[in-house]
Structure 1
C-alpha cells in the first residue's frame, strides 16, 4: 500500500524501477508554452531491477515507450518544467530510477506518464534507495535502517532523507531515544549539505505538526540545528536556520511551545557559549538578535 499524501516519493510510489536506456529516438522540439518547448522521445528501456512493486508480465526484453520532455526556449528559466522525463539524460546506456504510482503492473503503463511521477539519474539515489527497499520489504526498525545507512552516509541523498522521517514518524514521536538517534544521524559530518537540509526539513515538519504533544522533541531538534549551525560546511543553511527554523521551533515567532535555552542546552554550557559567540559574529543578512536575546536568558 502507498500513502498518496506522504511527503516521501518512496512511500508514495507503487513502483520504483532501476532502468537502462537501450535506444532513444527524439523528435523535434516544438513550441509548447511561452518560454517553453517540448518534444516526444521514443525510448527502448531495459528494466534492470525492481526496487519496489511488481511488473507483470515481466518483460523478456526492452520495453518500448514514448515520453515527453519539456525544456526552456530561451534564457528566461523562471517557471518549473513539466513532465517527469524532462531534463533527464536519455543517451544509450544511461541508468535511471523511475518512481511511479500505478494501479497497472504493465511495464509500459508504469514507465509512462501520468503514472510515472519522477525520473532521476540512478547513481545519485541508489545507495539510499537500496536501504529504503530493504526497510520496506523487511519492515526494519529505525536502528537497523540507520545501521545500514551509516557506512554510506556520504552517498545518501535527499530522497532517502525524506523517506527516513516519513517512515519513522510514529516511532520517533512515540520514543524519545528513537527521535534522538535520527537527530544524531542528521549531525553526521559525512552528509552532503542537501541531504542534511532534507533531514532537518523532515524533522522540522514533523515537530511543527506534533510539537504540542512532545516538546522534548523540539528541544532535541533545536540542539541538532545549533550543532549544524556551527559546522564549517553548513553556510548555505545559516539564513534559514537563523531566520526561520530556530525562531519558529523555539517558540519565539510561532505558536509552538516555548523552548528555554536552559532546557535545550541543559548540562551543555560549552555548546551554549559556542553558539552565543557564533551568533555575535555571524555575517548573514538575517537578524540574529531574537536568538541572542533567547540564549542570554538563564
Structure 2
C-alpha cells in the first residue's frame, strides 16, 4: 500500500469515517512532506480514535469558517479555543490526542516528524531542538504557514502529479520556519552569503533540465553539488533569485514557449514534452508567468505573420 494511502486510512480511522467519506480526505505524501486535506461538512457525534503515538507533530491550519472542538491529551481534557480561518494549532503526537468536533472540518494537517526537525537543525549547524513551544488547544495566526498552505492547496486535486522539487520546497520551508519560530532554532555557524560555485550552478541546472517532470529531489541535486539539501537550496536562491522549484517551472515555460512556434505541435503535446501534468496545468502556469494564455500568444504570432 502506498504511503499516501496509509495516511488516508490513518486519518479515516482517527475520524471514524466510513469508506464513503474517503474522497473527502486527500493526502500528499512525498519524502518528508506529508499533508492531508480534510473537507467534511458532516457533523461529528463521537470522540475520535486516538492518533497513533509518534515522535512527531501534527500542525493543523483552518482553511475556512471556524472549528470548535474538545481535546484530550493522554486521556486528560485540555481547554481549547475555536480555531478560525487562517488559525494554526499544534499537536504533539506522543500524547495521543483525541478530539470531539462541534463543527465540520475544513483544514490541512501537516505531519512533521522529529527526524525532519533534527535534519534541518543539523544542516543549519544548530543544536537540535528539544520540543516545540505552543499552547495545546489554542491557535495562532501564522502567515508563513498560511502562505505555504495556499501554495499547496491546488495540489490536493491531483496529488499524484506533485513534483518532488515542489514537495521538497514546501517541506523544507515549513520545517525550517517551525524549527525557528516554535523551536528556537538558531544557527551557530556564521551565515554564508555566497551562492553556488559556477560548476555547481551549471550542474544543478543540467540535472533539473534533464528532469522536467521535477521528479529529481533537492537532496539528489545537492549531492551532485557536494552540498547538503538545505545549504544547496539557500545557495541556489542566492545565485539565481529563485528556489529550485521556481527555476524549474520558469525553465519549463521557456522550453514550452519555444515549442509554441512549431504549429505542428498541439498544446497538449507541448505540455507533455515540457513536464506538465496536462494542457490545463500548462495553460495555468504559462498564463501566470507570461500574462497571456499559450493559445492566445500563438494566435497573435499567426496574425503578426500575416501582416
- What's the TM-score, normalizing by structure 2? 0.30
- What's the TM-score, normalizing by structure 1? 0.31
